[in-house]
Amino acid sequence: MESTDIDLLNKQFAAPGRATFRTGPGGFPILTLANAHGTLEITTYGGHVLSYRPAGQKPTLFISRESTYIPGKPIRGGIPVCWPWFGPSADDPALPMHGFARLMFWSVDAVAAGADQSEVRLGLRDDERTRKFWPHAFELALHVVLGKNLAVELTTRNTGTGPFVLTEALHTYFAVGDIGRVAIEGLEQTPYFDSLTRLPMPAEKAPIAIRSEVDRVYVDTADDCLIRDAALDRRIRVAKRGSRASVVWNPWIEKSKRMPDFGDDEYHGMVCIEAANARDDAIVLAPGQSHTLAQILSVGAGADA
Ligand code: BG6
């Protein structure tokens, strides 16, 4: 059901105390899921996870205080769904950066709210709006499972008569206590494409420390990343499936100032680690085929454990 009618959504899907829709900023419908393991908020605009908080922990995701909530503009923070292209469109640079899925209202297809596990399924299908951006027939499904960890799965199915090429990302913004005291492990042995210089770079052979603008596509890796956050004394494991590209991004000082929907000082408190299919890892889907990209987040106390 594609709907911005909160009463209808609650009538069909709500479970008191565990799954409730409300109207959020900009009138966007927001579903809150709560269970023994934590809480999560997701809006039907963009199929966008806005917040995730494991029980007893601080928020896992960053969301900018300057974010807009306006149809046609992306939300800054949480987990944007970049689809069906990552970055600028290869066909037409005038098309929206990171595709159109994050700019549309999705349908709510199912909500299941248990004491230990909560799930929501949102969907987006081709119609006259999507065909203005992309001429293909598709079904896109986002399945979010809140349990001991958070699993976000994005499945694309080609429902048309010809093949299409897909690039995509779950563009997750992690909240960190102080970017200067964060180490990202897991990509030490992986070469990357530097999106700032447009040059391929060799593996760094060391955990990533962010001390300036970083915008990288790590290539040919299926490995987990681990964010060690000394200031918050916690670690976040970022696992993935269906992806051989990982993007790491922090805008640092100058780019933060250029982004109108991002506070000038907010780069201190975030880093994006994205499960992607991008560059050489573009996916070709024949008619009837599907592909699932997933990211699984697990949060633990102690930066060094
Ligand atoms: C990252 C890109 O994935 O997304 C960056 O690598 C980009 O180049 C960033 O700046 C944010 O993109 P947007 O469109 O959400 O501002």
Residue 168 pLDDT = 99
Q: Ligand 1: does its nearest atom lie under 6 Å from the Cβ of 99? A: no
The string of DSSP letters for 218-230 reads EES----EEEEET
Residue 2 pLDDT = 54
Q: Which residues are catalytic?
A: 171, 274
pLDDT higher for 58 or 2?
Answer: 58
Ligand 1 atom nearest residue 97's Cα: 14
> How far does residue 87's CA lie from ligand 1's centre (Å)?
7
Chain centroid to CA 217: how far?
15
Q: Give the mean model confidence (pLDDT) for residues 219-240.
A: 98
Q: What's the pTM value of the predicted model, to 2 decimals?
A: 0.98
Give the closest residue to 134 by CA, choosing from 75, 190, 103, 92.
Answer: 92
Q: Is the pLDDT of residue 1 over 70?
A: no
Residue whose CA is closest, atom 5 of ligand 1? Answer: 215
Task: Give the residue carrying structure tokens 């809150």.
Answer: 32
> How far does residue 167's CA lie from ligand 1's centre (Å)?
14
The architecture (CATH level 2) of 3-301 comes to: Distorted Sandwich (2.70)
What is the tens place of the pLDDT at every residue in 21-32? 999 999 999 999
Residue 26 tokens read as: 């900009």
> How far does residue 274's CA lie from ligand 1's centre (Å)?
11
Q: Is the pLDDT of residue 222 over 60?
A: yes
List the domain boundaries for the chain.
Answer: 3-301
Q: Give the mean model confidence (pLDDT) for residues 50-57.
A: 97
Other CB atoms within a 10 A radius of the CB of residue 196 amount to 11
Q: Give the mean model confidence (pLDDT) for residues 25-54.
A: 98
Give the closest residue to 296 by CA, choosing from 243, 249, 234, 229.
Answer: 243
Q: Give the mean model confidence (pLDDT) for residues 96-110.
A: 98
What is the tens place of the pLDDT at every residue in 278-295? 999 999 999 999 999 999
